[in-house]
Amino acid sequence: MTILRLISILACCLVWTASAMAQMSLTPPGVGTPPAASKPAPKPKPKPPAATKPAEAAAPKPAATPAPAATVTPAPAPNDPNVDLVYGAYQRGMYKTAFDLATKRVQDTGDPKAMTMLGELYANAMGVRLDYAKAADWYKRAADRGDREAMFALAMMRFEGRGGPANQEEAAKLMASSAKLGNPKAAYNLALLYLQGQALPQDVRRAAELFRVAADAGNAEAQYALATFYKEGTGVPKDIDKAVRLLQAASLADNVDAEVEYAIALYNGTGTPKNEAAAVALLRKAAKQNSPIAQNRLAWVLVNRQGAPMDKIEGFKWHLVAKTAGKGDLGLDQALADLSPEDRAKAEAAARKWLGTK
């Protein structure tokens, strides 16, 4: 199930203050903590503090209004073999079979989960032609019968204006109903709406409560957002230890931003025992997932032999790759200029190979 990426966690809520994590000093010499990034509609993306040389934390990137989820996975009804057959066909990619079984199930019993399945199939052109109007109709039927997945899916469609006119008020109500029924995806996105303060009144504490609900259910985006709140003391008491535990959880779920920030915490021993080797491994993983911040910090580690064996070719490769994504670094530029022509050519060739250019 695809859900919203973090909508704008407001600059005032998310930007790290120097005092918040003063001990984290992974910023390379001569390079200060970069200003918070911003987008035209969204609020600025928070930039956590840097650490001793390798990392400057990543931050959530939001959008002004929630974008619709690409897909909703209808949950099978427990102990109901008929619905399980529908869900099983869907899971195996047998969409036409799932459509036929769900249609029969709706005709026979009016089952809301089968209705949600039909909405999902129409919304994503699975086994049938894409038809947002029909998808919205089936989602609404299921939502009216209390299906939380259908409520969430219909809310996302209403935000975007697919299958009918955009209606933020209706979407927010649907999202709240889905969250109340225990849907962690809805709780996460509802928290974003409270942060944004447009479809709903701005309420940072309520957002924190909802992030906690979704985080406790294992939602990695919510774990990362809540970690940011604990680091800053936004809507919750400041608590670095809790923040780092949440970063670890989100990192284990492959949230790239969390991997970078958790690597910083490990590198500096902030809120967790210091472990440079584990930090470098995480930076390497995030770098391979195309995080420019991780690539830049990994470059510092490898070029300056800080927590990992020196490997200037590999280090400058990551520096050049990060630079193409706008993560330039004066200190590394100067070090690259001092490299032998032969080694520089190797680093440039490695960067080109990674980027898939000639």
| HSE of 131, CA atoms in CB hemisphere, 13 A | 13
At residue 61, the pLDDT reads 40
DSSP string for residues in 263-304? HHHHHHTSSS---HHHHHHHHHHHHHTT-HHHHHHHHHHHHH
Interior CA angle at 5 toward 189 and 237, to 5°? 65
For 278-291, what is the mean pLDDT? 95
Count CB-CB contacts under 10 A for residue 306.
18
Domains of the chain with bracketed CATH = 81-222 (1.25.40.10), 287-358 (no CATH)
Q: Examine the pLDDT at 12 and tell me if it is beyond 50.
A: no
Residue 357 has what pLDDT? 74
| Residue 9, pLDDT above cutoff 90 | no
d(CA 209, CA 201): 15
Rounded to the nearest 5°, which phi and psi values hold at 37? -75, 155
pLDDT at 354: 94
pLDDT digits (tens, 9 = 90+) for 30-83: 223 322 333 323 333 333 333 344 445 444 443 333 443 445 666 655 555 555
* Confidence category of residue 29, pLDDT binned at 50, 70, 90: very low
Contact of 118 with 99, CB cutoff 8 Å? yes
What's the pTM?
0.75
15 pLDDT more than 90: no
Summarize pLDDT for 153-212 with one digit per residue, the tens.
999 999 999 999 999 999 999 999 999 999 999 999 999 999 999 889 999 999 999 999
